[in-house]
Chains A and B, each alone.
Chain A
Amino acid sequence: MVHRLYCEGVKRTGTTAKDGPFTLDIPLGPGPWVIASEINSAGKSSVLWALSFALRGEGFAGFRRPETVGWFHYVRADIEVGGVAASVRLTFERPGRPHARLLSADALPALLALEGRSDEGPGVRVVSEAEPPEVEALISRFMMDRLGLRPISVWTAEPGAPKGEDGQRDSTEQVHSWPSFFYALALNSANDTILLGPTTVGQLPVRLMQLFLNVPYASELTRLVTARKAELQEGSRIARRADEDTRAREQKAEPLRAALVDAQQRLRGLRDAQPDITALLQAVERAAAQVVACQDAHQIAAGQLEAARKNRLTDQRAARRARQSSAARLLLGALDPEACPRCDHDIDDARRAIEDTDHRCSVCANPLPEEPDDPEAAQAALTRIDDRLAASQAAETRSKAAADQAILMLKRARTAYAEATAALAAVRSGEAFTLLEQTQKEVSQLQGALTLAAGETTGVLPALAAVLSEHVAQPAGPQSLTDERVLAVATEVVKEVVDTHSRALFTELNGEILSIAQALGVTNLGSVNLNLAGHLNAIKSGAKHPYASFSPVDRLRMRIAAVVGMVRVGRRRGIASHPGLLLVDAPTADEVVPETARQVIQTLYDTGNDIPGIQMIITSIESAVWDIFPKDRIVTGVNGRELF
């Protein structure tokens, strides 16, 4: 309820005759008021604009006239909201960006008593102040608090956001508070096709009505819906990101995969082309076995040769001895002793003769031994020894031959072994083998890289799996799903409550809208069925008539009807959420037929008068206003001309 509007400013049109400082001081109160003039551009809308600035924290776009924005230097509105007396003081250092000061008092008169800009007085106190960026917030908070309103949350698509795979746009939460709620006070212009509010997104019109009709949990429902949508969006975002990740990984993995396939193919080819190592290995084995066999044979042969040699040496020694002995005997045995070796006395012939006769030794007189010297026997013995020697020499020769042969065989076997080993080594170190090993390494490396890139953890080394688990982004876990479930259930429950209450209220509201709309001059309106989706479902002339299809004039009428109906229903139920203030700029502007215009004005006046607690401020240049409105309710300039 606005009780007084006070403005100070400087008018600048460029026509010096009209320019100069001005002051507006408009007393107001409950009931219908009209800001009237007989000419256009009298400043009617500008006054509304100034008022709306004080009430809203930001000038209402519909009332804004750019040329007059900078004229206002000071706007003061003494109001009563929710039983509290307050005065909003706006000081414009720059056009459209004021400081704000909020005053309060125990009773309204204390505020009304203050002159002009004065803000000090008995019982008057400054509640708060704000600089230009915070002015809107300050007034918004104040109004919402006083009226007991809660913000409405709407899930709005971000501008320019592309449609996702699920048809959803990337959206975000938009919170509508007092500046949007003001649309229930200052009505959209006739051209606007939205019934109420700045947008139809999130069924805002319906929400606004539910809000002002005090539908329980109306605000909370919006918050729940938004929260749930946010959760779902986040979930789908995460899923999308995971998808993108997987795709990206796949893409990264693609070239690796291709390379792996290629490498594996090359490996197969190389393997097929490889020379048969097994044959070579077997050859080496065989050669080694042969060497061992030859070594054994050689050892035996050498042993045998040694033995044969020893035998031969023995026999040779024996033969030598025998011959020496025989020769010595021949030489010395035949000699007659001449002297005694002991005493060196000569041995004479006589003694020597006894040897022949008595067979006594001439030296020691012992019997001579039997002559074993049978030359033939001796010779035979020698021959035997010689034969034996010859035999053992032959044996040795044979053994030597065998040993030499064994050595030769061993040498050959060793050479063969060396050749076989060399052949094997050549193959192993050969280019083909190196290439094979390289290619194998390539394959292994690619497999490892592919595992890392593609993030497949099955059947992978533990070390790799550990690295992978760090990288793979965990998709939305059950946690957020639970949150979403909770929200979904809560939404259902709350929605039930909201819908139930809304239906009841809307039914009543529909009746009101119908009657008021008809009173305002909407023809052939059969019924109105405002539903929870925000559709008016009007039936005009027996046919469904969407709101947008109504003519601009009718739209405005329907709008007025809706808001007035809302207020009425609310008042009837003791709901004070709507402050009861209505601001309508030129309600009959598009009216063609003067009669209808009059009718509209009349209805508006009556409505303003009849419904308790309503304050309706309209602007008009209709001549009818002069008749319908009492003089003290007309705000006008000199001679019905410029207001300032």
Chain B
Amino acid sequence: MSADFESDRFSDAIRLLLLIAAVANPVGTPVGTDVPANAVAVVHVESRLQKLDFWLRNPDYLADELLNDYERSGETILLDLAGQILDSDEPEVCAIPMLRYLFGAFEYLDQALSVLAAPRLVVVRQHRSQTRVIQDSYYLTGKGRQIADQATAQFPELAWYTERALLVRALAEATGHTALALRKRQYLQRDYAQTPLGETIPSIADRARERLTALREATSQGAVHE
């Protein structure tokens, strides 16, 4: 897979834009002093962004997480969503593999962000939090929102990202907003946690599919969730 992986900064950029557009929270009114002009929404914490990007790029891991959630809550919708992902070729076709870094998935997003920052679709600000840690904030501008909407409307391949990003957001918010929770999730995948540093995180599509089949069977026999 790494052979046909093109580090295409425009594709990365548009994906990132769509992700930000989907998961950013509206900037509150009245607008704060450090909020840039024309900002409509904001995402705090870069690491959170990266983790969300991970799920965007690895549908198999997302599906697996959905199954975990299903096992906990028993909501059939989760099973169905997982099924939608795993029954199709999504894990094979749509995945964009990432390298493993310390502290969970981490990739150099700067280049993609520059592409967004230059036309002022996204504005990056840094500030100190209450605990004196430097935090990044990614503000989405009105122009950014516009391009994002246009992408979603015109190009089905890109619309897919928006949809998925919204789903990912829902998943993240179901578990809480903190990055730590997200990070813990990703570490829960043994395949991924054992991947040596600097190597590509492997696919768990087949394992997830097996799990799906098992859960489906269990469900049809009424065994899941007592």
Q: Which residues of A contact B (CB under 8 A)?
A: 313-314, 316-318, 320-321, 323-325, 327-329, 331-333, 335-341, 344, 347, 363
B119 within 8 A of A: yes
Return the chain A residue nearest B3 by Cβ: A314
Task: Report yes or no: A320 in contact with B157, Cβ–Cβ below 8 A.
Answer: yes
Which of A314, A337, A339, A340 lies in contact with B4, CB distance below 8 A?
A314
Task: Report yes or no: A332 in contact with B4, Cβ–Cβ below 8 A.
Answer: no
Which 9 A-B residue pairings sit nearest by Cβ, starting from the closest?
A335-B119, A328-B10, A337-B118, A341-B117, A328-B14, A341-B114, A327-B155, A338-B120, A313-B92
Task: Report yes or no: B147 in contact with A331, Cβ–Cβ below 8 A.
Answer: yes
| Chain A residues within 8 Å of B23, by CB | none
Which of B92, B117, B121, B154 lies in contact with A327, CB distance below 8 A?
B154
**Cα A363 to Cα B119 with chains together (Å):** 10
| Chain B residues within 8 Å of A314, by CB | 4
| Chain B residues within 8 Å of A323, by CB | 155, 157
Task: Report yes or no: A321 in contact with B115, Cβ–Cβ below 8 A.
Answer: no
Return the chain B residue nearest A327 by Cβ: B155
Task: Report yes or no: A332 in contact with B120, Cβ–Cβ below 8 A.
Answer: no
Which of B10, B93, B118 lies in contact with A339, CB distance below 8 A?
B118
Which of B1, B8, B93, B120 lies in contact with A325, CB distance below 8 A?
B8
Shortest C-beta distance, B16 to chain A (Å), equals 10
**Cα A325 to Cα B13 with chains together (Å):** 10
Which of B15, B93, B114, B147 lies in contact with A320, CB distance below 8 A?
B93
Count chain A CB atoms within 10 A of each CB in B4, B117, B150, B157 and give the residue with the most: B157
B6 within 8 A of A: yes
Task: Report yes or no: A321 in contact with B118, Cβ–Cβ below 8 A.
Answer: no
Task: Report yes or no: A317 in contact with B6, Cβ–Cβ below 8 A.
Answer: no
Shortest C-beta distance, A463 to chain B (Å), equals 61
B151 within 8 A of A: yes
Q: Which residues of B contact A (CB under 8 A)?
A: 1, 4, 6, 8, 10-11, 13-15, 89, 92-94, 113-121, 123, 147, 150-151, 154-155, 157-158
Return the chain A residue nearest B96 by Cβ: A321
Task: Report yes or no: B10 in contact with A317, Cβ–Cβ below 8 A.
Answer: no
**Cα A316 to Cα B95 with chains together (Å):** 12
Interface pairs (19), CB distance under 8 Å: A317-B1, A317-B4, A321-B4, A321-B11, A324-B158, A325-B8, A325-B11, A327-B151, A327-B154, A328-B10, A328-B11, A328-B158, A331-B14, A331-B151, A332-B10, A336-B119, A337-B119, A347-B118, A363-B118
Return the chain B residue nearest A329 by Cβ: B10
Task: Report yes or no: B92 in contact with A317, Cβ–Cβ below 8 A.
Answer: yes
- Interface of chain A, helix or strand or loop or mixed? helix
Task: Report yes or no: B94 in contact with A320, Cβ–Cβ below 8 A.
Answer: yes
Task: Report yes or no: A327 in contact with B6, Cβ–Cβ below 8 A.
Answer: no
Whether A338 contacts B92 in the complex (CB less than 8 A), given A324-B157, A325-B10, comes out as no
**Cα A363 to Cα B154 with chains together (Å):** 28
| Chain A residues within 8 Å of B157, by CB | 320, 323-324, 327
| Chain A residues within 8 Å of B115, by CB | 332
Task: Report yes or no: A332 in contact with B6, Cβ–Cβ below 8 A.
Answer: no
**Cα A325 to Cα B154 with chains together (Å):** 14
For the complex with contacts A333-B10, A341-B117, 5 further pairs of A-B residues with Cβ separation under 8 Å are A313-B89, A324-B157, A332-B119, A335-B118, A338-B119
| Chain A residues within 8 Å of B113, by CB | 341
Task: Report yes or no: B11 in contact with A331, Cβ–Cβ below 8 A.
Answer: no
| Chain A residues within 8 Å of B114, by CB | 341
Task: Report yes or no: A328 in contact with B154, Cβ–Cβ below 8 A.
Answer: no
Shortest C-beta distance, B61 to chain A (Å), equals 18
**Cα A336 to Cα B118 with chains together (Å):** 8
| Chain B residues within 8 Å of A341, by CB | 113-114, 117-118
Task: Report yes or no: B92 in contact with A324, Cβ–Cβ below 8 A.
Answer: no
Task: Report yes or no: B118 in contact with A327, Cβ–Cβ below 8 A.
Answer: no
Shortest C-beta distance, A196 to chain B (Å), equals 123
Which of A317, A329, A333 lies in contact with B93, CB distance below 8 A?
A317
Shortest C-beta distance, A354 to chain B (Å), equals 15
Shortest C-beta distance, B15 to chain A (Å), equals 8
| Chain A residues within 8 Å of B121, by CB | 335
| Chain A residues within 8 Å of B119, by CB | 332, 335-338
Shortest C-beta distance, B38 to chain A (Å), equals 11
Shortest C-beta distance, B46 to chain A (Å), equals 15
Shortest C-beta distance, B95 to chain A (Å), equals 8
Which of B8, B89, B118, B150 lies in contact with A338, CB distance below 8 A?
B118
**Cα A314 to Cα B154 with chains together (Å):** 24
| Chain A residues within 8 Å of B6, by CB | 321, 325
**Cα A340 to Cα B15 with chains together (Å):** 21
Count chain A CB atoms within 10 A of each CB in B89, B116, B120, B147 and give the residue with the most: B120
Shortest C-beta distance, A435 to chain B (Å), equals 48
**Cα A335 to Cα B114 with chains together (Å):** 13
Shortest C-beta distance, A267 to chain B (Å), equals 56
Shortest C-beta distance, B207 to chain A (Å), equals 18
Task: Report yes or no: B14 in contact with A324, Cβ–Cβ below 8 A.
Answer: yes
Shortest C-beta distance, B118 to chain A (Å), equals 4
**Cα A337 to Cα B117 with chains together (Å):** 8
Task: Report yes or no: A332 in contact with B147, Cβ–Cβ below 8 A.
Answer: yes
| Chain A residues within 8 Å of B151, by CB | 327, 331
Shortest C-beta distance, A362 to chain B (Å), equals 9
Task: Report yes or no: A331 in contact with B150, Cβ–Cβ below 8 A.
Answer: yes
**Cα A333 to Cα B123 with chains together (Å):** 18
| Chain A residues within 8 Å of B4, by CB | 314, 317-318, 321
**Cα A338 to Cα B10 with chains together (Å):** 17
Task: Report yes or no: A328 in contact with B13, Cβ–Cβ below 8 A.
Answer: yes
| Chain A residues within 8 Å of B11, by CB | 321, 324-325, 328
| Chain A residues within 8 Å of B147, by CB | 331-332, 335
**Cα A268 to Cα B119 with chains together (Å):** 103
Task: Report yes or no: B92 in contact with A328, Cβ–Cβ below 8 A.
Answer: no
Count chain A CB atoms within 10 A of each CB in B10, B15, B121, B151 and give the residue with the most: B10
Shortest C-beta distance, A319 to chain B (Å), equals 9
Task: Report yes or no: B118 in contact with A340, Cβ–Cβ below 8 A.
Answer: yes
Whether A327 contacts B120 in the complex (CB less than 8 A), given A316-B93, A318-B4, comes out as no
**Cα A327 to Cα B18 with chains together (Å):** 13
Return the chain B residue nearest A333 by Cβ: B10
| Chain A residues within 8 Å of B1, by CB | 317
**Cα A363 to Cα B114 with chains together (Å):** 11
Shortest C-beta distance, A310 to chain B (Å), equals 9
**Cα A333 to Cα B151 with chains together (Å):** 13
Return the chain B residue nearest A312 by Cβ: B89
**Cα A333 to Cα B9 with chains together (Å):** 11
Return the chain B residue nearest A317 by Cβ: B93
Task: Report yes or no: B13 in contact with A339, Cβ–Cβ below 8 A.
Answer: no
